[in-house]
Structure 1
Amino acid sequence: MNTNRTVRTVVATAAATLLPFAVLGAGSASATVLDPFGPACASVPKDGSGSFDAMAKVPVATAASQNPELSTLVTAVKQAGLVDTLNNAQDITVFAPTNAAFAKVPQADLAKVLADKAQLTKILTYHVVGEKLTPAQLESGSFTTLEKGKLTTSGSGESYKVNGTANVVCGDIGTANATVYMVDSVLMPPMT
């Protein structure tokens, strides 16, 4: 286990115990700044719009719209009409494909999915789990998504995979209503 991560977790737990009523977000006592990790976290601004502190104060779809690495995901969420659904959900985890993840999808296929609201909604809701997941829960997990499919996670320390193929490139990002793990591949729900 990563010693630095363990120390940060102990400090964060102690702070949470000592300051249970600290309000990080406007009107939201549940906003949480977690302990982001991963190589893509370096692209997140240190302060201001899009920073981890700023994202902790707003709901997940709004937070994603402030992150330049998630602009394709935000376009897809808007196209599917899921902005309010995600912003109003409580205690969720979003495995958020980066722009690079969407770039792996052939352009014609991506355009076809973006034009099919039902299919787009199915794919996007497969990236959402109805509970906030900690990195420890990702070590060997199986979770039901809002799409009703299952996804699996594995790994440890600061190295995690989703469904055995997608890497978490920046994880444990807190928003007012969600925990976000940015991934380097678009997850596809099981075919039914």
Structure 2
Amino acid sequence: MNTKLRTRSMGLAALALTASMGLAACGSESDTDSASEPTTSESSSETPMEESESPMESEEPMAADAPFGPGCAGVPTSGEGSVEGMADDPVATAASNNPLLKTLVAAVTEADLVDTLNSAENLTVFAPTDDAFAAIPKKDLNALLKDKEMLTTVLTHHVVGESLTPENLAGEHETLAGDMLTVEGEGEDFTIGEASVVCGNVQTANATVYVVDQVLMPQM
């Protein structure tokens, strides 16, 4: 009897041990499965991040063609005097809608150059701001505005008879006055003598405009 009971007890213990090992194996398999799940979710979460970067890259070419310089902050953001509005009109008309260029427009009108500038093609205009004209002593400015021949020479000294992009702006260029302008610089930093471009690469229907902070005086 004792021998049989001992044998039966050993058999039950072996069964219990086998069952516990089976449960442990199942638990380790489920742990392995659950541990592998985060890897799948992490790899899937990386895909949207990679896709979200591509639209930013497509915006760079647009920025390259835009006007540049601190003076562009003074250009209206909407209406005929805005960058978009100026692109629709020939250069003299476009300048007349820009609040930074009122004195220049008055001078162009006084010199009877409106039609000349509006009807030409592929011009580059260095346009002095109102502040640039205000820096000239008032007596001298009034005398210039009254001398049509001299005024015409000064104004056409600001105009080049070809379209200059920022890439080919630096160098020597012949003006409509028949003399030369020397532009130095690169990228978004250009100077003409003591004058600096403060808002460059503004497009009009027939010209590229570079707004400058000083009036460019020809050599007499």
Per the alignment, residue 189 of structure 2 pairs with 159
| Aligned counterpart in structure 2 of residue 174 of structure 1, from 199, 203, 209 | 203
Task: Tell me how far apart the structure 2 counterparts of residues 86 and 170 of structure 1 sit (CA, whole Å).
Answer: 20
The Cα offsets for residues 31-70 of structure 1, whole Å up to 9 and x where unpaired, read as xxx4100111011111112011110000000000000000
1:144 alignment partner AA: E
Task: Tell me how far apart the structure 2 counterparts of residues 134 and 36 of structure 1 sit (CA, whole Å).
Answer: 11
2:182 alignment partner AA: T
Q: When the two structures are aligned, how many residues end up with a matched partner?
A: 162
Task: Tell me how far apart the structure 2 counterparts of residues 184 and 41 of structure 1 sit (CA, whole Å).
Answer: 12
TM-score scaled by structure 1? 0.81
User: Can you give the 5+ residue segments of structure 2 that lack an aligned partner in the other structure?
Assistant: 1-58
Residue 81 of structure 2 aligns to a residue in which SS?
coil
CA RMSD of aligned residues (A): 1.4
User: Can you give the 5+ residue segments of structure 1 that lack an aligned partner in the other structure?
Assistant: 1-6, 14-33
Per the alignment, residue 56 of structure 1 pairs with 87
Aligned: 1:94 with 2:125: yes
| Aligned counterpart in structure 1 of residue 155 of structure 2, from 99, 119, 124 | 124
**Misfit runs of 4+, over 3 Å:** 10-13
TM-score scaled by structure 2? 0.71
The Cα offsets for residues 119-142 of structure 1, whole Å up to 9 and x where unpaired, read as 00000000000001011112x310
Point out the structure with max Rg over C-alpha.
2
Percent identity reads 57
Aligned: 1:148 with 2:175: no
Aligned: 1:134 with 2:169: no
Per the alignment, residue 136 of structure 2 pairs with 105
* Higher RCO (CA-CA < 8 Å; seq separation 6+): 1
Following superposition, the deviation at residue 11 of structure 1 comes to: 4.3
